[in-house]
Amino acid sequence: MDFLKINGGHGEGGGQIIRSSIVLSCITNQPIHLENIRKNRKEGGLKAQHLTAIKILQKIANAEVIGAELGSTEIKFIPNKIESLELIENIKTAGSISLILQVLIPVVSIAQKKLTLIIKGGTDVLWSPSMDYTQYVLKEAYSRMGIKFSIEVIKRGYYPKGGGEIKIQVYPAEIKSVNFIERKTNNLKLICTFSKISLEKIKEKIEKIKEKIKVESEIKEEEAIDSGASLLIYNIDNNSIMGIDSLFNKKIQDFDLDLDKINNNSLGLDEKLADMIVVPASLAKGKTIFRVKEITNHLETNLFVTSKITGCKYGIGKISEGFEVIVEGVSNSSIKQ
């Protein structure tokens, strides 16, 4: 069998290269051999959330997987025909549901299939987009690219116990190239969800944010096993989508937010969203163009691995306020399903 070898230590050398590689392996029906998994992390190898994502994709793509174990530093992933499924899964830790959804949504949707999934784990955890970011920011960006999904948050799940639960439905896509060039509005919205923290404390923190920026706010108490809170600030218009999110830091008793990242950003995408749209952009007909403040390691890694697997072309140019990225897709007509 002809495997495409991918060095998991390239670029940021973390979970992003795992996610992108197995997503594109499924979509393009290309067997991959992923080595040096999470080489640049303190504790290398596969974590629970990576394993859950791989095992769900194994079911969806009828794949053969070699080496899928906790701590494994290499796997072989051999996809087959992708199917529409209804599944119930449990990460059994506070592992990030949002990062797993980043894997499942594009595979199912771009392959013109459907998925109904109920999954338990962490809805709002460190080093991961919050569930509200997925619900309000990623969903909008994917929708404009032709990828449709809906999320119902049944229960929040914070670190360390998790126990969150969501239901997601993913629908067949017609992938489109898009442009996210320039932000022309400043209609900031804030959503804060919390559990087992006083409402007064949450309101106090949000009022401090309102002293610095003009924002419309919504606060929701949602029961969870552990105490915790998640905050999202976002802005959406015809030419831009961006958001910043943060978990409540119990040590400093506050949200750790860099408000300048959204208040003083006139470009097309926030840095987190930029790397999330690379995979669908690589498979859309035509050029997707977006502007960002910086080229993160995640974005650079995603561009590298996506071009290697799909054969798409990309370019990065410096502009006065940041960078312009162009991804020329290969068109999903080339997908072998």
Catalytic residues: 298
Tokens at 35, concatenated: 């080595």
> Under a CB-based contact definition with an 8 Å cutoff, are residues 159 and 125 in contact?
yes
Tokens at 153, concatenated: 């948050």
Q: Report the candidate in 55, 34, 54, 168 with the shortest Cα–Cα distance to residue 109.
A: 168
Ranges of H-type helices in 122-234: 131-133, 139-144, 199-212
CB atoms within 10 A of CB 71: 12
Q: Report the candidate in 201, 205, 135, 202 with the shortest Cα–Cα distance to residue 164.
A: 135
Name the phi and psi angles at 203, rounded to 5.
-60, -40
Cα distance between residue 313 and residue 128, in whole Å: 28
> What single-letter DSSP state applies at residue 134?
I
> What single-letter DSSP state applies at residue 186?
-
Tokens at 27, concatenated: 């979509």
Q: Report the candidate in 247, 312, 244 with the shortest Cα–Cα distance to residue 20.
A: 312
